[in-house]
Structure 1
Amino acid sequence: MELFGDNKGKALKMKIRIERLDETNPTNPRSPNSNTLKTSKCPSNETKLVQNRNPMAVIRERRLPKGNLTLDLSRQDSTAGTDCCQRFSFPQLAALPTAAVPSGGEHRLSDFEKIKVLGHGNGGTVYQVRHRRTGCVYALKTLTADDALRRRQITREVEILRSTDSPTVIHCQGVMHTASGDAALLLEFMDAGSLESLLARRGIPFPESAIAGIARQVLHGLSYLHSQKIVHRDIKPGNLLVNTAGEIKIADFGVSKIMRRSLDPCVSYVGTSAYMSPERFDPDSYGGHYDAYAADVWSLGLTVLELHLGHFPLLPPGQRPDWATLMCAICFGEPPELPETASSDFRDFIGRCLQKESSKRWSVAQLLAHPFIAGWDHGESDLVFREIISPAEAPVES
């Protein structure tokens, strides 16, 4: 596999064999990744790399001035599922103890009947459930505490959901715990799925008027979260949920972080690699940390661009690359070409979001005032979006 080098057009040459140690499938560009890896010796350097190195450090240290950059990734078993969630044994709703202790004594798992599985997220399964007594429909997200790291992630997600109160953030109705540390989050049910599923059902890109309304809602959500010193770190179409009223809400805080201090650094290599910003792949180039708020803006930019193009924007349609291809496309690749029909305001908006240097990216507040967002009539853009949702709405099982 040949990949071309930096933005100045200089080619690089190197061979690195990277073997993933985590349970993530590297062929899935939307799968979460960890920074735990091991590498073989590089032909030009006999020093063995230690584990837990930032992957970009491997490339940076072995970069040569000329040639081609070649990354030879070891493949996982071809029989493995393409969805990372298939590599774990997620608990079924009925298998969770019905004697789980509910927060505040308000709910028990036995109070709900399972309707169907909605999807899989960071370490858990999401179900559509119905309250037996009231008939109200909710989303129930089960989280398994496999180890200390997962227990910390569950604790953090619960803390964030309990502390947030915004119409642009998914609302948590209650939390139930088991003695082993597993948790079940009772969430509001978004009846139109996610932007990812909506785009897939629609089959064609969204018009700019609808995209402007979508971006405005997500920006308001990020503005609220950032004001609470919360960085999401996994903004993508699949984590932006939609209802038939046209509301968009940010969900899945499994890898989010509460910035306790204003200058608190972010160093964790978490989230979905396809939507990570360049500095998140290579934080060592930025003093060992990155501006997590600016990283959320990058992810938003890619998400908005995906809605405009109808496919993941940094790769050809249908291509499902390995991790290294994604990394090089994000860190070294040129911005994707937009269709001739794209407006100048949209082009400029995307350019403000997808600056490779985080310090040059616009803030959420600046983007809310951008002509692409502020120039559209809010009522018109929201109406167009609702019209898109209606025919593509997935049927709800009863």
Structure 2
Amino acid sequence: MALIRQKRLPQLHLSLPVPSSTPGQRPKPAFTPAPAPTLIKASTPTALSSQFRLADFDKLAVLGRGNGGTVYKVRHRETYALYALKVQHYGDPAAAAEADILSRTASPFVVRCHSVLPAAASGDVAMLLELVDGGSLDSIRSRHGAFPEAALAEVAAHALSGLAYLHARRIVHLDIKPANLLASTAGDIKVADFGIAKVLSRAGEQCTSYVGTTAYMSPERFDPEAHGGHYDPCAADVWSLGVTILELFMGRYPLLPAGQQLSWASLMCAVCFGETPALSDGMASLELQGFVAACLHKDYRNRASVAELLTHPFIAGRDVASSRCALRKLVSQASAPPSAL
């Protein structure tokens, strides 16, 4: 088995308001693919701004801590715009890689990096990120519990749109999980935390990196020796999204029995050899059941692609206005102080 380690910042919850300033053949899926929906138009990626300095910001709160750094809520002294400042300590090379990847993106479904700020001589790297006011889906689940299907369909649609944008640019995330999907009270979901993401040199390139969060790794990442030592990273992102959607629906980690401790051995058995939790008709709609099943084929060659999932009835057949309203309501309730509920 390959040695698998947790990433250095496993649970940075970027409680991020948007600043006011400017290879094998895959069998056909059970559903019939249709043309993928057009993504919201975004500006062309440009070089990160160098107009900011660390001295221009006041720290207001700590949003998250990890072994490699800290995320702060900060305010620009002149404009009063709010941001999230992610400071990676000790010259971590992953920080420079993350900044490089974010400089390539300009999508409403991916958290924006406004600038990489000059930091102390210690080698720290500071990224000025947009502030998404609802926090991570992990923090929302821990406060609210299970997500209703209507809200979950909107979460899946936005996350898939983010992955479609990234994969089209040969960027693979490799750590999709509730903690790395951020929600706004306006009903938007953004992919965040690109600490172990990779830019592929060519379309269809296989990966050999097994760093990540074990609970959300696909079987071929968890047990590389059984899969030739390499894997399709886009299919791995699909598996991680499937586990994420199932977790949000069930209100707990779904691949182990309730209350069982997450250990390497238990996860190995569950991910590589265990059965996918069955969702009965009374528990979940047929559309949700089919969507999860399409994501969680243990053989990555049988998983639906991101483009196919965007046309799945659970996504394409949803009432967009109703789903967005349900997501906004959920995020607002989870973000409200206890006295306001």
Q: TM-score normalized by structure 2?
A: 0.83
Aligned to 2:181: 240
Aligned to 1:201: 143
Gaps of 5+ in 2: 13-47
Question: How many angstroms apart in 1 are the aligned matches of 2:10 and 2:165?
Answer: 31
Residue correspondence of structure 1 range 136-285 to structure 2 within 5 A: 136-145=81-90, 150-151=92-93, 153-178=94-119, 179-203=121-145, 205-285=146-226
Provide, for residues 153-188 of structure 1, a one-character-per-residue CA deviation record: whole Å limited to 9, x for no partner.
Answer: 222111111110000000011101334432000000
| Counterpart contact for 2:96–2:125, Cα < 8 Å | no
Question: How many angstroms apart in 1 are the aligned matches of 2:193 and 2:278?
Answer: 31
Question: How many angstroms apart in 2 are the aligned matches of 1:126 and 1:364?
Answer: 30
Is residue 32 of structure 1 aligned with residue 20 of structure 2?
no
Q: Displacement, 1:394?
A: 5.0
**Which of 220, 226, 230 does residue 289 from structure 1 map onto?**
230
Residue correspondence of structure 1 range 125-144 to structure 2 within 5 A: 125-144=70-89
Structure with bigger RCO (C-alpha 8 Å, 6+ apart): 2
Aligned to 2:261: 320
After superposition, the Cα gap between the structure-2 partners of 1:32 and 1:394, relative to the gap in structure 1 and judged at 3 Å, is farther
* Seq. identity, %: 53
Gaps of 5+ in 1: 1-15, 25-30, 34-82, 87-102
Moved over 6 A (4+): 83-86
1:322 maps to amino acid: S
**Which of 333, 357, 366 does residue 308 from structure 2 map onto?**
366
> Helix, strand or coil for the counterpart of 1:163?
coil
After superposition, the Cα gap between the structure-2 partners of 1:357 and 1:185, relative to the gap in structure 1 and judged at 3 Å, is same
> Helix, strand or coil for the counterpart of 2:325?
helix
Question: How many angstroms apart in 2 are the aligned matches of 1:363 and 1:84?
Answer: 26
Provide, for residues 118-177 of structure 1, a one-character-per-residue CA deviation record: whole Å limited to 9, x for no partner.
Answer: 11357221111111121111100001235xxx32x2221111111100000000111013
| Counterpart contact for 1:85–1:123, Cα < 8 Å | no
Q: Displacement, 1:84?
A: 7.1
> Helix, strand or coil for the counterpart of 2:196?
coil
Provide, for residues 261-287 of structure 1, a one-character-per-residue CA deviation record: whole Å limited to 9, x for no partner.
Answer: 224321111111100000001223322
> Helix, strand or coil for the counterpart of 2:291?
helix
| Counterpart contact for 2:185–2:328, Cα < 8 Å | yes
Q: Displacement, 1:105?
A: 3.9
**Which of 19, 38, 59 does residue 114 from structure 1 map onto?**
59
Aligned to 2:285: 343
Question: How many angstroms apart in 2 are the aligned matches of 1:190 and 1:320?
Answer: 31
> Helix, strand or coil for the counterpart of 2:90?
coil
> Helix, strand or coil for the counterpart of 1:222?
helix
Is residue 376 of structure 1 aligned with residue 284 of structure 2?
no
Aligned to 1:65: none
Question: How many angstroms apart in 2 are the aligned matches of 1:356 and 1:197?
Answer: 28
Is residue 385 of structure 1 aligned with residue 334 of structure 2?
no
Question: How many angstroms apart in 1 are the aligned matches of 2:90 and 2:229?
Answer: 29
Question: How many angstroms apart in 2 are the aligned matches of 1:214 and 1:121?
Answer: 26
Question: How many angstroms apart in 1 are the aligned matches of 2:67 and 2:172?
Answer: 16
| Counterpart contact for 1:112–1:130, Cα < 8 Å | yes
| Counterpart contact for 2:115–2:128, Cα < 8 Å | yes
Out of 360-369 and 275-284, give the one that drifted further. Answer: 275-284
Aligned to 1:94: none
Q: Displacement, 1:392?
A: 1.4
The count of aligned residue pairs is 300
Pick the structure with greater CA Rg: 1
Q: Displacement, 1:113?
A: 1.1
> Helix, strand or coil for the counterpart of 2:162?
helix
| Counterpart contact for 1:355–1:361, Cα < 8 Å | yes
Question: How many angstroms apart in 2 are the aligned matches of 1:225 and 1:310?
Answer: 28
Residue correspondence of structure 1 range 5-20 to structure 2 within 5 A: none
After superposition, the Cα gap between the structure-2 partners of 1:372 and 1:263, relative to the gap in structure 1 and judged at 3 Å, is closer
Question: How many angstroms apart in 2 are the aligned matches of 1:248 and 1:347?
Answer: 22
Question: How many angstroms apart in 1 are the aligned matches of 2:100 and 2:295?
Answer: 29
Aligned to 1:45: none
| Counterpart contact for 1:195–1:241, Cα < 8 Å | yes
Q: Displacement, 1:85?
A: 7.8
Question: How many angstroms apart in 2 are the aligned matches of 1:375 and 1:265?
Answer: 33
Question: How many angstroms apart in 2 are the aligned matches of 1:104 and 1:216?
Answer: 30
2:105 maps to amino acid: T
Q: TM-score normalized by structure 1?
A: 0.71
| Counterpart contact for 2:74–2:85, Cα < 8 Å | yes
Question: How many angstroms apart in 2 are the aligned matches of 1:258 and 1:169?
Answer: 15
| Counterpart contact for 1:141–1:187, Cα < 8 Å | yes
1:218 maps to amino acid: A
